Every structure is written in structure tokens, then in C-alpha cells.
Amino acid sequence: MIKINDLRKVFRTEEVETIALNNISMEVKEGEFVAIMGPSGCGKSTLLNILGLLDNPTSGEYWLDNKEVGHLKEKERTQTRKGKIGFVFQSFNLIEEMTVYENVELPLTYLKVKASERKKRVEEVLRRMNISHRAGHFPNQLSGGQQQRVAIARAVIANPKLILADEPTGNLDSKNGKDVMDLLTELNREGTTIVMVTHSQHDASFAHRIVNLFDGQIVTEVQM
């Protein structure tokens, strides 16, 4: 599903040049659950952002479903990502001015799904994430665990084939972290491919494979 070749990402500001990814190559097969680990600043989020078509590499190839997508313009990236890739972030990234219901509905609105179908699907996913009772609330009225369940609901509502999660349990206590890992594991069992960045050895133990990054390079890969 994913194949990257010699991927390099360099950030340049006026004074400094940071090599965030230094010639990385890897593959992720359809249905796989891959954990990415490594110290702070080693390039994990940069890699995930490129995989999620939020950013382009400086050089190298990114093949997604047999199409080279590493150097698309922003508009094409958005188009390619739509309905195909779901994101979950450490800081939830919900829209504060929108209710839980509206946050979760948003991807379907972008995809121009008709209103009756949107309602059916939002209600279904809110039930599944056990958050229906909060549908009319705003993100700041929810606990961290509830916000992350809303974020997962939003990530999965369009049935993406790929979920990218950047430290999804990073801001959660162990009970809520466990709920999030259970949800991700269940989605993976149903066929969704998952690439997750984590600092937690325990969370990584749910994956099929752990990719360890250091200084922008893959140092080891461990099959579980």
C-alpha cells in the first residue's frame, strides 16, 4: 500500500538547515499495523505528515497504492487524501467552535455525502465510540479521553483505508489510553492499515512491526 524510497526532508530557515529525514526507505502492506518509535526530534511526525500528504519530501519517492504521490501540489494532495486517509493527533485537533456532532460530520460534508446519509453515519460512529451522549457538546466541555474518541470518530467516518496516528495516547491517562488502543486494534482487525507514532512500548506491542528512527534514519525494524 505504501512504499517510500530514499525519502529525504530538509527544513531550511535563514540560519539553520535541519535534515529531518535522511534517506528513508520502507514499505507498509495493506492491513498492517506499524508503530514508529524514536526519541523526540528524530523525524517521526515529519514522516507521518509526508505519509498523510500533509507535506512533501525534499526528495525521494512516495508510492501510495501504486501511484507516485511524493511531489503533488497541495490541491492534489488534499484530493488524494480525501476519504482515504484518517488522522489522529496527540492534541486531538478538534475544531473548538464546532460541536462533537459537527466535528465528526465534517469529512462527510467535504465528500458531499447527502444530509440523511451523513446523519445516519455520524450517529452510528458516535455510538460506536461511546460518545453519543456528548453529541451537542463542544470539545472544551469534554475530557481528554472523550476528545480523542471524537477525533477517532472523525478519522474513521469516511471509512479510510489508512489511519495515521501521531502519539494518539500521549495526552491520556492509562484507562483512556487503553480505550484508544483497543479501538485502533479493532479497526486494524477489520482491515484498516495503521501507522502509529508512539513513545509507549506498551502501545507499540499492539503493532505487527516496530520501526525505530534515530536522527532521521531507520535504525532497526522489529517484527512482532
Spatial contact of 114 and 141, defined as CB atoms under 8 Å apart:
no
Determine if 200 is a binding residue for ligand ADP (CB under 6 A): no
4 binds ligand ADP, rule: CB under 6 A: no
Site string for ligand ADP, 22-41 (x = CB under 6 A): ----------------x-xx
Total residues interacting with Mg ion, rule: CB under 5 A: 2
Q: Which does 20 bind (CB under 5 to 8 A by kind): Mg ion, ligand ADP, none?
A: ligand ADP
Nearest to 56 by CA among 44, 80, 36, 72: 72
The nearest distance, CB 203 to ligand ADP, in angstroms, is: 15
Q: Which is nearer to Mg ion, 44 or 121 (CB)?
A: 44
Selected range binding Mg ion among 40-48, 93-101, 135-143, 202-210, rule: CB under 5 A: 40-48
Nine cell digits for residue 136: 451537542
Residue with cell 506491542: 205
Taking CB under 6 A as the criterion, the residue among 42, 152, 164, 210 binding ligand ADP is 42
Helix/strand/coil for 139: helix
Is there a contact between 32 and 196 (Cβ–Cβ < 8 Å)?
Answer: no
Contact window for Mg ion (CB under 5 A) among 17-25, 42-50, 113-121, 122-130: 42-50
Rg of the chain in Å (alpha carbons)? 17
Angle between the N-to-C axes of helices 144-156 and 174-189, in degrees from 0 to 180, rounded to the nearest 10: 10
